[in-house]
Structure 1
Amino acid sequence: MTRVWVRELAGWMLASAVALLTAATVASSARAELLFRDGDSLIVALLSRSVLSGEPLDWAMSSVLFVPETAVFVALDALVPLEADGLLALTAVLNLLGLYGALRLTAGRRSEGFAPVAWSVVALGVVGLLAMTESSASRDALEPASLQLMTTYYSATVIGVVMTIGVLRRALDRAKSATVLAVALAVIAVISAFSNPLYAAWATVPLSVLLAIFSFCSEHRKRAGVLLGILILASAGGLLLRIPFAAWIANTGAGYAQPERWRESMATYGGLLAERLSTPLGVLAALVLLALLGLAAWSTSRATEAGSRFVATAAWLVPVLVVIGAIALGTHASRYLQPIAFAPVLALLAVPRAWALPPSFRRSLAVIVGLAVLVGGAFSIPRLAAAAQRPDADLACVTDWVDTAGRTGAGQFWTVRLPKLHLDDPAQLVQVDHRLQGYAWLVNRTDFDAAAVSFLIEDAQTVPWDLPVAAVPDDVVDCGRYRIVDFGDALLPLGPAHS
């Protein structure tokens, strides 16, 4: 029993080192733009700050409610004395640790001749390797592995999908814990579908197809059928629980499906793939994924136990069905294809056999590799801290000016969100469109209680203004990549809010 405890603890320590190394590398690359500064990426931090402030909550969300992500961020913000960027860096590490926990669940129970802890660490290391090959500042790049580090791009949904596969694997393998595992499956599916309907596309649909096949062709027909029913009903229940929160959901996501544009979708994803393959690191990542898909197919044909066969099949079937579905629905966002990064890694966990090496050599190898990983993780802490504390004089110029002015201003979505997060009072900056109408998207609609503003924040992403009234600015403050257009005592009225 002690040896099992020590082995699991060692696994978490190594996973922490891998997470630190990955987060530090990504945060030190151009991908840091998404991690710390992108307008989309800041929703969880803004929402969490709003929750902790005690102010009235009337948020206009997308189809995603970010329930697990926000719960974690609120807890960290309340307990850990870090600024926003420090919390985002810490969350990146925790997101990877959460994925490790899901991978460990999927690897199954330890038995003679198997090493699920070691292979779970290896699987996380492969995810980390893929993430470290990604260095674009663009949210549209086909670089899905590093999105797991972000608070916005469905990190909790990824963990939920892998946990679902893990629970199903264990339920197929073990009849003794059937009730507990059935409850766990229902809870994961309800929470995941409630928080993000994309769970249905990434988990419910492809895994239901797989369970349906097992219910006809597996020796565990009855068990697979029961699990299929639980997964479908729990996912539907999670979606139904969203109804009371309809006032918060500014976009149900139905408009994202445009099947008639499937050719454009294929061309878009094909172009992103070609761009990804134009770099050596992109080719390396593609070769790793192809090797994993090949291993998954081989393991599917060789697995002798239902649980192992289920994981191996899910490793290649889930990404295939997700890509086909994304194209068939006419989508164009690369973030919807994240299963191509995390699902193939499950091939390493289908049959996590220990290497047939002399015990003394195996122990020595484990110690050497483990120490190297731990040292790499330790040296990554200063790098990650430096990335999170990197000075931003332009941003400081804006926030200092607004805090000192004590007045209310406005800015457009991609411009205003970063300064808004770092202000003493985020309500001092109202999110608007170029006509000065309130833009109710991923923001607290109580901000629009301000009937007028007296200054505007601009940067290179700002669309030229079409103001409702003629006004001449008193001053234009140069803050590097930002400009503050100050109208002094003149007030610019805000138009009606829209999403």
Structure 2
Amino acid sequence: MRRFWVRELAGWFGALALAVITAAQVASSARSGLLFRDGDSLVVAMFARSIVSGESMDWAMSSVLFLPETMVFVGLDLVLPLDVNGLLAVNAVINILALYGALRLVAGRRSAGRTPVTWALLGLAAFCAIAMTELSASRDALELASLQLTTTYYAATVVAAVLSVGLVRRALDRESGGAGFLVSLGVTAAISTLSNPLYAAWATVPIAVLLALLTVRSRRRMRLLLLLGALLGGTALGVLGRIPLQAWIANTGAGYAQPERLVDSLGYYGELAADRFSTPLGLLACLIVLALLVLAAIRTARAADEGSRFVAAVAWFMPVIVVVGAIALGTHAARYLQPLAFAPVLALVAAPRAIRMPIRLRSLLAGVAAVLLAIGGIVSLPRLAATTAAPDPDLTCVTDWVSASGRTGAGQFWTVRLPKLHLDHPAQLVQVDHQLRGYAWLVNRHDFGIGEVTFLVEDAQTIPWSLPAPAIPDEVIDCGRYRILDLGDTALPLGPQRS
């Protein structure tokens, strides 16, 4: 028993080192904007801070409610004495650790001839290697693994999809019983679908199809049907659970499906793939994914048991069906294709058999790997801390001026969200469009109750203003990449809300 816990703890420490190394590398690249400054990426931090502050809330969310992500961030905010960037960095590490936990579940129980901890770590290492090749600042690039480090781009849904595969695998590996796995699968599906309907596309559909196919040849059809029922039932409950929350869902997501734009979608994703292939690191990441897909196909054909065959099949079938579905629906968002990054990794944990080698050599390799991970983690910690603590004088200029003014101003979505998050009183900045209409998207609609504003914040992303009345600023405050147009005693009324 002691050796069991030593192995498991060693696996978690190894995963922690990989998480820190990966977070430090991504945060030190141009992709750090997605972690700390991007308008979309800040919604969970803004929502969590709104909850912690106890202010009146009437949030306008997208089709995604970010429930698990918000719970994690609220917990971190209440426990850790860190600023927003520090919390986002810690959250990035936790997201990678959560993925390891899901991979460890998929790898199955340890038994003679099996080393699931080792293979789960190898799976996480492959995923982290892909993430560390992703260095661009674009949220639209086909750089999918690094999105796991953000609080916004469906980190909880990624973990839930892998977790669901693991629960099915654990149930299939048991000769009898397994009611706990059935219940856990249903609960996971319900919570995940409630928070993000994309879970149904990433997990429910591919897993359900594979379970249905397995029932054709399996002698344990009842168990497979129960698993299928738990998955579908949990997903259905999640959909029903969204009905009472409709007031907070500003966009159901139905408009994202445009099958008539199939050709455009194919061209869009094709261009993203070509861009990814055009760089050495991008090519390396694509070769890793391709190798994992080939391994998944081989292990599907050679699987010795249902559990291994199921996991191996998911590793290639899930990305295939998601990519085909995304194109068929005419979508134009790289983030929808994240199974291309995480699902192929499952090939490494499908059959976690021990590699035959002399015990001394195995011990030597394990020791060297542990030392390298420890050194990498230790070296990366100050690197990650330095990145999160890097000063932003332009942002500080804005927040200091707004706080000192005691007044309420406005700015457009891509401009105002970062200063808004970093203010002591976020309601001092109202999110509007270029016509000064309240822009009710990923924001607390309670902010619009102020009715009027007396200054505007703008930057290079700001669309030229089309104001309802002429407004000549008394003063223009230069804050580097930002400008504050101080209207003095002139108050501009907010227009009707739109989303």
User: TM class by shorter-chain length?
Assistant: over 0.9
- What is the Cα deviation at residue 229 of structure 1? 1.3
- Matched to 2:123, the amino acid is A
Q: Counterpart of 1:76?
A: 76
SS at 2:103 equivalent: helix
User: Where in structure 2 are the equivalents of 1:279-358 lying within 5 Å?
Assistant: 279-358=279-358
1:460 is paired with a residue of what secondary structure?
A: coil
How far did 1:256 drift?
A: 0.4
Q: Specify the alignment match of 1:465 in structure 2.
A: 465
Aligned counterpart, 2:475? 475
Structure 2 match to 1:415: 415
1:57 Cα deviation (Å)? 1.3
Amino acid aligned to 1:214? L
Structure 1 length as normaliser, TM-score? 0.99
CA contact (8 A) 1:215 1:223 kept: no
Deviation digits for residues 351-408 of structure 1 (CA, Å, limit 9, x no counterpart)? 0111100112101110111111111011110000011011111101100100111100
Whether contact under 8 Å (1:214, 1:220) holds in the other structure is: no
Aligned residue number for residue 58 of structure 2: 58
Q: CA deviation at 1:495?
A: 0.5
Letter in 2 for 1:190: A
Partner of 2:160: 160
Say how many residue pairs are matched.
499
Q: For the residues of structure 2 that align with 1:121 and 1:311, how far apart are their CA atoms?
A: 16
Residues in 2 aligned to 1:218 and 1:313: alpha-carbon distance in whole angstroms: 15
Matched with 1:492 is 492
CA distance in 1, matches of 2:219, 2:73: 43
Aligned residues of 1:134 and 1:143 also touching (Cα < 8 A): yes
| 1:440-459 aligned within 5 A | 440-459=440-459
Partner letter of residue 451 of structure 2? Answer: A
Q: Matches of 1:14 and 1:375 in 2, distance apart? A: 11
Q: TM-score, normalised by structure 2?
A: 0.99
Query: 2:105, 2:325 → 1: CA distance?
Result: 27
State the Cα distance separating 1:466 from its structure 2 match.
0.4
- Give the structure 2 partner of residue 266 of structure 1: 266
Give distance in 2, aligned partners of 1:227 and 1:182: 6
SS at match of 1:63: coil
- The amino acid across from 2:458 in the alignment is E
Note the alpha carbon deviations across 1:87-139, whole angstroms, 9 max, x for none.
00000000000000000000000011111001111111111100000011010
SS of 1:485's equivalent in the other structure is: strand
User: Partner letter of residue 377 of structure 2?
Assistant: G
Give CA-to-partner distance per residue, 1:419-476, whole Å, 9 cap, x none. Answer: 0000010000000000000000000000000110000000000000000111211001
Other structure's SS at 1:350 match:
coil
The code of the aligned residue for 1:248 comes to: W
Alpha-carbon distance in structure 2 between the residues aligned to 1:237 and 1:277: 41
Cα offset, 1:222, TM superposition? 2.0
Structure 1 segment 114-125 matched on structure 2, within 5 A: 114-125=114-125
Q: How far apart, in 1, do the equivalents of 2:245 and 2:174 lie? A: 37
Quote the Cα distance in structure 1 between the aligned partners of 2:109 and 2:177.
12
3-state secondary structure, aligned to 2:478: strand
Q: Which amino acid aligns with 2:217?
A: C
Task: Calculate percent identity across the aligned residue pairs.
Answer: 64
Shift of 1:221: 2.0
Query: For 1:401, what is the secondary structure of its paired residue?
Result: helix
Q: Measure the CA separation in 1 of the matches of 2:65 and 2:138.
A: 23
Tell me the equivalent position of 2:381: 381
How far off its partner does 1:216 sit? 1.0
| Contact 1:119 1:352 (8 Å CA) reproduced | yes
1:430 alignment partner in structure 2? 430
Report deviation, 1:498: 1.2
Letter in 1 for 2:386: A
1:486 aligned partner, one-letter code: D
> C-alpha displacement at 1:304, in angstroms?
1.1
What's the Cα RMSD here? 0.6
Letter in 1 for 2:172: L
Cα deviation digits, residues 150-188 of structure 1 (max 9, x gap): 000000000000000000001111143411111110111
Following TM superposition, the consecutive aligned residue runs of length 4 or more in structure 1 with deviations greater than 4 angstroms are none
Q: Distance in 1 between matches of 2:437 and 2:342?
A: 40
Q: Alpha-carbon deviation of 1:240?
A: 0.6
Separation in 2, partners of 1:330, 1:220: 39
Contact 1:257 1:329 in 2 (8 A): yes
How do 1:18-417 residues align onto structure 2 when only pairs under 5 Å count? 18-417=18-417
